[in-house]
Amino acid sequence: MSEDKPVDVRGYGPALPLTVVGGFLGAGKTTLLNHLLANANGRRIGVVVNDFGEINIDERLIARRTDSIISLTNGCACCDFGGTLYDSLFQLLEAAGPLEFIVIETSGVADPGKVADVGRVGRFFRLNLVVVVTDAVTVREHAADRYLHDTIARQLTAADLILINKTDLVKAAELAELESWFDAVAPGVARIASRTAAVPVDVLLDAPPSEPLVRRIADSEQVHGHHAGRQFESWSFISSRPFRTAALHEVLARLPRTILRAKGVVQVDRAAERQTILHFVAGRWTLEAGELWPVMPQTELVVIGLAGRMEVPALEEAFKGALLS
C-alpha cells in the first residue's frame, strides 16, 4: 500500500469517502436516502440522518436495532444525530463494522457546506460530494422569500451537484426557465433532474459503476460507451501509455459540467511504477498514489455524464492528447 494514504490511528482504516445531502425542507432528501439504501447492491453504506422515522425501511431488512443505530441485512447502517456529528459518525463506525461510504443528510435549514467540513479536515473522512436536492416547484419561490433567501443561497453555493427533483410537477417551459435560473444563481455547478430522486447510486458515491463497463484490453487504447438509462451515459477509456501528469490535470480542469463523475486507475509519468487513483466529481478531482502495478501498467478510466451531452469524440481526443507520445 502507498505510504501516502491516510491511516486512521483509531483503527477504522483509510479515510472514508463522505457524501453530504443538503436541501430545503420537503425537497426530497429523505427520498434520495431511501433510494440509496434500496439500491446499495452490496455496498456497505453508513447513513447519518436527522430522524429515523422518515426512513422507509422494511422491517424484514433490519438485522439489528438500538436506540440510535439500525443495521440492515444488506450491510448498510443508519444512525441518527446524537451529541455532535463526530460522535454520531464514530458511533456508527463502531457499531456497524467496516463501511465503504458515509452519507450525511443535513436538516432542511442547515448549511451543507459547514457539515462537509467534516470531510475536509482530519484523517478519518474524505469529502466526496455535496449534493443539494431542490424542489422544482418551490425553489425559486423560496429563494425570493426575504426570510429564506440566505438559506437557499448558502445551500446552492455549497453544492458540487444540484438535483432538481419533482420535475414531473412542472411543465417543460417552466423547467426550461428553472434551468436558466440555475445558470444565473449557481453558474458552473453540475445539475441533474429527477422525478423521485431516483438517480444512479454510482453518481452519488465514490465508486465505479456497478456494471463492468471497462474491459481489459492489453497494449491498446479503446473507448467503450454504455447507456445507463435515458438520462445518464457512461464512457470508458483504456490505454497502455501513461499520461503526462500536467496535461491530465488540464483535461480534468476543462471537463464540462455535463460530466458528473469519473474514476479509475491511471498511469502517470511522475509515478509510472505505481497505480494512480483518479477521482473526479462535479468539477473537483484528486490523484492519489496507489499500489505498485501488479502486471503491465494500464489506464482504465470510466466517465459518467448526462446522456447525449458528453461529447464523446472530444473526450477521446482530449484524453488521448494527454498521453505520452
pLDDT in tens, 85-137: 888 888 788 776 788 888 998 888 888 998 888 887 667 888 888 999 999 99
Which residue bears the cell 453555493? 157
Bridge partners (DSSP) listed for residue 93: none
Rounded distance, CA 268 to CA 276, Å?
A: 7
- The full set of domain ranges for the chain reads 16-204, 222-321
Residue 79 pLDDT: 80
Amino acid making up residue 130:
V
CATH of segment(s) 222-321: 3.30.1220.10
Low-confidence ranges of the chain (pLDDT < 70): 1-13, 51-67, 73-74, 82-83, 96, 121-122, 207-231, 282
Residue 282 pLDDT: 67
**Residues 131 and 18 sit within 8 Å (Cβ to Cβ):** no
Residue 181 pLDDT: 96
Residue 229 pLDDT: 41
Give the predicted TM-score (pTM) of the model: 0.70
For domain 16-204, give the CATH superfamily.
Answer: P-loop containing nucleotide triphosphate hydrolases (3.40.50.300)
Rounded distance, CA 298 to CA 289, Å?
A: 15
Rounded distance, CA 131 to CA 156, Å?
A: 9
Residue 213 pLDDT: 30
